[in-house]
Amino acid sequence: MAAAYAALGDFNQAMNAQEVAIEKLEDHNSQRYANFVQRLKLYQQRQTIYSASL
């Protein structure tokens, strides 16, 4: 959900959705947790997870 919000340029909603997803993760020492936090950092910088290159 967060990625979709970011792709539409709604970074506030993207951050909110990503924070909820992070809160739901049980293992905060996992690679998945690290990936979720990295995505949150991208949204905070107003960037998407998608590359513009084709």
Segment 11-26, tens digit of pLDDT: 999 999 999 999 999 9
pLDDT for residue 54 = 46
Q: How far apart are CA 33 and CA 18, in angstroms?
A: 11
46 φ, ψ (degrees, to nearest 5) = 60, 45
18-46 mean pLDDT: 96
pLDDT for residue 17 = 98
Rg, C-alpha atoms of the chain:
11
Q: Residue 9 CB: number of other CB atoms within 10 A?
A: 10
